[in-house]
Structure 1
Amino acid sequence: MSQTKQSKAENSTEIQYNGNRRDFLKFGGATLAATGLIMAGCQEVSDFLPNGRQAPLASDQRAVPLGKGDIGVLNYAYTLEQLEAAFYLAVVANPYSGISEEEMTIMEDLRNHEVAHRDFLKAALGKDAIIDLTFDLSSVDFNDRASVLSTAKTFEDLGVAAYNGAGQLLVSADLLLIAGKIVSVEARHAAAIRSIFDADFTSFAGSDVVDDVNGLDRAFSPAQVLEAASPFIVNKIIANQLPTS
């Protein structure tokens, strides 16, 4: 182990698992069976903000600290998975007008995956998991196909960029492996949503998310991602203890 990596590990907050390493990886693989290189985000974070909204509108502003080290990074991911799960649960409970059978199947699959991601991260974090968050999805017209799919596109693209940016912050190789499994599923989600929303066979890997030169997807820092997600999150997320490198 290099001196830099060793120093990083010594200063990290370690995850305490219920069970051994093999059990954790086995659970992760089974849960995510539905399924490094970090680059600067070329897409503007403002592209993800809904209709110019810059802050949560609801009154509940309970501060939620994510923590530090790997625990903080997992709680950061858990924040995003809670948001995505809440969104798709609402979509499936109240399908938009004119939804096709194929689109409903996709939405149900995405709901199931995001709920699985959410519950997996909560179980992995155990007593260190943050609270169940409150969300504001009032900007979404759940009866309108374009509103639902544009929001789904926003969440999925943002989720991929979030995991791409957070991978370098993890110390645990086990957690990096799990994060890689999750982001691969999120990328499949993003491609599916883009294909049915844009009706364009090239949009699944458009130049707005995949760099035309090196073929790599976008990566955002936690600060960038939480800024973009903040209009949908009622709670005040405190991420000032997250690692930065």
Structure 2
Amino acid sequence: MNIMKNTPSLFGGHPELVKSVHRRSFLKWAGGTAAVTTLVLTGCKEDDTTPVVGEVNLGTGDFAVLNYAYALEQLEAAFYTRVIESQFSGITADEIALLTDIRDHEVAHREFFKAALGSNAIGGLDVDFSSINFGSRESVLNTAKTFEDLGVAAYNGAGRFITSPDYLTLAGKIVSVEARHAAYIRDLLSNGTFADNTVVDSNGLEMSKDPAAVLQAAAPFIKNTINASALA
């Protein structure tokens, strides 16, 4: 299969994004098959981004939105990498398999945004997981629930800031995956809560959050201060 043929449909001919993704070869990830994703993830499970000290400025325009998403994907990828490395007591084979899938998705998302942003990408965030007991199923899954619910609400809440239809399409594809993660994690904690009234309102709509609320909720897990003033 010629993965390069997927370029026009995925990126809508946006030359800046296509050029950036070509540079890191992550069009392979866009192919959408498990085999292709595995190839992309080879050598990418450890983030080689230079860590940032102090404040992180997301920038302006669509790049600010992409960096916002990139920051959240960094957090999730780091968390699930740790979950698989330090498996909680009593974890089942099914849980290992599915949490590994989620880790691989988050790593792919992180690396995709890094490649797409190119020189506009923020550096690596300094995460803080000291409040999480990775040996405890309850601690790990409740943190996963927080991150997944936050990710879905963040993507939907930031959609209004995106001006490029190509970027909006990409965000829609990724938030759909994040919602699947959230549903799975919620049902692991309590079966049937995958779409309860804490995330879906009476009109059947997901409860979005603006960037300020999302970053405030994520702040305990990130040592950096994130400047998202362009998304206010």
Same-fold call, TM cutoff 0.5: yes
Percent identity reads 54
Letter in 2 for 1:146: E
Q: State the match for 2:156 in structure 1.
A: 164
Aligned residue pairs total: 201
Query: CA 1:91–1:76 in structure 2 vs 1: closer, same or farther (change >3 Å)?
Result: same
Contact kept? 1:162, 1:219, Cα under 8 Å: yes
Tell me how far apart the structure 2 counterparts of residues 32 and 238 of structure 1 sit (CA, whole Å).
33
Structure 1 residues 137-216: aligned runs within 5 Å: 137-198=129-190, 200=191, 202-211=192-201, 213-216=202-205
Contact kept? 1:210, 1:218, Cα under 8 Å: yes
Contact kept? 2:53, 2:126, Cα under 8 Å: no
Relative contact order: is structure 1 or structure 2 higher (C-alpha 8 Å, sep ≥ 6)? Answer: 1
Structure 1 residues 54-203: aligned runs within 5 Å: 62-198=54-190, 200=191, 202-203=192-193
Tell me how far apart the structure 1 counterparts of residues 220 and 21 of structure 2 sit (CA, whole Å).
37
Tell me how far apart the structure 2 counterparts of residues 117 and 20 of structure 1 sit (CA, whole Å).
15
Structure 1 residues 3-18: aligned runs within 5 Å: 16-18=16-18
Query: CA 1:136–1:194 in structure 2 vs 1: closer, same or farther (change >3 Å)?
Result: same
Structure 1 SS opposite 2:16 = coil
Shift of 1:61: 5.7
Which consecutive segments of 4 or more residues in structure 1 shift more than 6 A?
Answer: 20-23
Shift of 1:93: 0.4
1:19 aligns with 2:8: no
TM-score by length of 2: 0.80
Query: CA 1:176–1:28 in structure 2 vs 1: closer, same or farther (change >3 Å)?
Result: farther
Contact kept? 2:126, 2:222, Cα under 8 Å: yes
Shift of 1:196: 1.0
**Bigger fraction of residues in helix:** 2
Letter in 2 for 1:209: V
Contact kept? 1:32, 1:117, Cα under 8 Å: no
Structure 2 SS opposite 1:137 = coil
Structure 2 SS opposite 1:16 = helix
Query: CA 1:95–1:107 in structure 2 vs 1: closer, same or farther (change >3 Å)?
Result: same
- Mark the runs of 5 or more structure 1 residues left unpaired by the alignment: 1-13, 35-59
Shift of 1:88: 0.2
Contact kept? 2:56, 2:227, Cα under 8 Å: yes
Contact kept? 1:134, 1:235, Cα under 8 Å: yes
Shift of 1:19: 2.5
Shift of 1:16: 3.1
Tell me how far apart the structure 1 counterparts of residues 171 and 217 of structure 2 sit (CA, whole Å).
21
Shift of 1:150: 0.2
Shift of 1:133: 0.8
Shift of 1:33: 5.6
Contact kept? 2:21, 2:112, Cα under 8 Å: no
Shift of 1:20: 8.9
- 1:65-96 Cα offsets, whole Å, 9 max, x none, are 00011000100000000000000000000100
TM-score by length of 1: 0.76
Instruction: Give RMSD over aligned pairs.
Output: 2.5
